[in-house]
Chain A
Amino acid sequence: MSHGSDIKSLVWGAVLLLLAACVPLVANGYWMSIALTIAMFTVLATSWALFSGPTHYISLATAAFFGVGGYLVGTGMSDYNMGFWTMVVIAPVVGAVLAFLIGIATLRLSGVYFVIFTLGLAEMIRTLVSWIQNNFTGSRGLYVLTDLTEADIYIYLVILAAVVYLAGWWVNRSRIGFALRIIGNDEMVARHVGINTATSKVILFTFSGFIAALVGALIAPRYTYIEPNGVFSPEISFIVVIMALLGGTGRLWGPIVGVIPFALLQEFINANYSSYSTLVMGVAFLVIVYFLPKGVVGRIEQALATRRKSTW
């Protein structure tokens, strides 16, 4: 990758993000809602792919961090009379510490064992939090009452997306990104050529945990009432993985091209087949898997490649 194309992709990214930031000016409440969903999953899926893309370690722990973010905001505001922004600062730090610990604990695991380990851990955290809420914080419901609108939250998430993309761009150019790609290709080789696989893995995993917790905290006002079993729902982890895989995890911009069509498709199906939306969604999914074998990224790159060929 040459220096010039790097700068070019930075500029392109900045332009697109600015465009995205303008959405609230033109969108009505309905499209704002969809844009917010897209922004939320873009941040989650992209930060997930920062770690899982190059290393091929599929993590199902997103819900744990996301839930920690949402739950801390809820309990902080309802049980301890903290301000929303104080909790927004605390939550991602807790998420990062948690991710750091998980990152260290999972160093020896690989393949499917890593996948299910993260799932089990996330579920453990979910039931532990419910138990703590039940026995110690003595909560009478977790209310997050703020004056933030969907458009406000959307803007925060777009800024967060910018941060994630910048971090991803920097990681790809740095030693750490190089190390991760080698781990993804062959972890043995990576170790033998003297790459500290552990540090690289843990750093990026911590970063993705930080971001997921921050998203959970920022999105909490949208739900108003936080139910631990809702914010910790494993469904979130699965959807994030599915969206990222659908887009393709090899490129920084892969997840977003999975998230956007997925969210729009889901919206289209829910709007038009309300009684059978789950069934139609399933069938649509199968169609995608069979006809887009390399994810959306694969399709786009293929199209770009043929165009390049035909112009030459």
Chain B
Amino acid sequence: MDIIITGLLLGGTYALIAFGLNLQYGVARIMNLANGEFLVLGALAAFWIFVADSISPVLTMLIVAPLSFFGNWVIYKLLLRPLVRRAKNQGQLEVDSILATFGMSFALVGIMVSMHGEYFTYSYLAEPFEIVGETFALNRIVAFCFAVLIGGALWLWLYYTRPGMAMRAVSVSTEASGLVGIDVPRLSALAFALGGAVTTMGGTLISTFITLDASVGVIFTMKALIIIIMGGVGDIRGAIVAALILGLVETTVARLIDPGLTLAAAYAIFVLVLLFRPQGLFGRKPT
């Protein structure tokens, strides 16, 4: 029981890391290697505001989300849209966006290093919380609840609203959805901006229980990539399931076998899933 709850909490953290990139890559087709830096930016904001004024990271999250949305929207319009327009096919767009966002991640790390080169670490809700006689960290539980809220809201929006449906259509096929009158460029910008905002929100929450620094973003980008690929590109259910599987596997291995093998086991599961389902858990067969 203890393992299951700890694993779910960790899975929630992973879901927070992966939601944003899933929208950016699944819908807007941008393999955003600077995604982790936006997560770290959220963490940095939470840390700064907390240390300066003891303002709760949850409040910070509500402040930075629209800022990040706007920032990512501008980045998409100014820097990425030209790449989309000049790319002749998906392959070329992938190469171009890898190169461009790689540069962006460098630039963002450079900016953050000059702002705060030390570790971002503070204590927020680092208190015990009891569930069925076992003790868990309150900040992780809060983050998990927000992961559920954010994931739930995204799911409702994608599956029960018109723009959400259009978004899913774009993720299936950009050409076909263009033909049926969906404004693909606008929706892509929206998806990219929304993805960035969600990632930044995740960063503010994660900073309450993981110690980060300015250069750590790439680790989160890689984790997010692994999760969305394991779940199947563009499918939010896949990302959630994959995140929870990873969280449960890591915790189980840590408690029952050896903590030294947690990450290795998580990657092994990822490798196995792809060996048996080359398109991810919920992915569609490539056409």
Q: Tell me whether B267 and A124 are in contact (CB under 8 A).
A: yes
Interface residues of B in 96-115 (CB under 8 A from A): 96, 98-100, 102-111, 113-114
Please report the C-alpha to C-alpha distance between residue A293 and residue B84 in the assembled complex, in whole angstroms.
12
Q: Which of B31, B99, B225, B260 neighbours the largest number of chain A CB atoms within 10 Å of its CB?
A: B99
B218 to chain A, nearest CB (A): 8
* C-alpha spacing A111/B94, complex, angstroms: 10
Q: Is the CB of A285 within 8 A of B102?
A: yes
Asked if B86 is at the interface (CB within 8 A of a chain A CB), the reply is: yes
Q: How many residues of chain A are within 8 Å of chain B by beta carbon?
A: 44
Say if the beta carbon of B82 comes within 8 Å of chain A.
Answer: yes
B279–A113 touching, CB < 8 Å: yes
Contact of A286 among B107, B111, B233 (CB under 8 A): B107
> Does A10 reach chain B (CB closer than 8 Å)?
no
Mark B213-257 against chain A: 1 for CB-CB distance below 8 A, else 0: 000001000100110010001000000000000000000000000
Whether A282 lies near B108 (C-beta < 8 A) is yes
Chain B interface mostly helix, strand, loop or mixed?
Answer: helix
Q: Do residues B267 and A282 form an inter-chain contact, with CB atoms below 8 A?
A: no
A111 surroundings in chain B (CB, below 8 A): 286
**A230-253 vs B: 1/0 string, CB under 8 Å?**
000011001001100110000000
Interface residue? A308 (CB, 8 A): no
A280 and B275 within 8 A (CB): no
Known: A119-B225, A285-B99, A289-B96. A134 touches B110 (CB 8 A): no
Which of A76-84, A102-110, A172-180, A216-224 interfaces with chain B?
A102-110
Kindly state whether residue A14 has any CB partner on chain B within 8 Å.
no
Cβ of A15 under 8 Å from chain B = no
Q: Which residues of chain A are near B66, meaning CB under 8 Å?
A: none
- Chosen A-B contacts, 13 in total, with CB atoms closer than 8 Å, are A112-B94, A113-B274, A116-B225, A123-B222, A127-B267, A279-B106, A279-B107, A282-B106, A285-B103, A285-B106, A289-B96, A289-B100, A289-B103
Residues of A within 8 A of B (CB): 56, 105, 108-113, 116-117, 119-121, 123-124, 127-128, 130-131, 134-135, 234-235, 238, 241-242, 245-246, 275-286, 288-290, 293
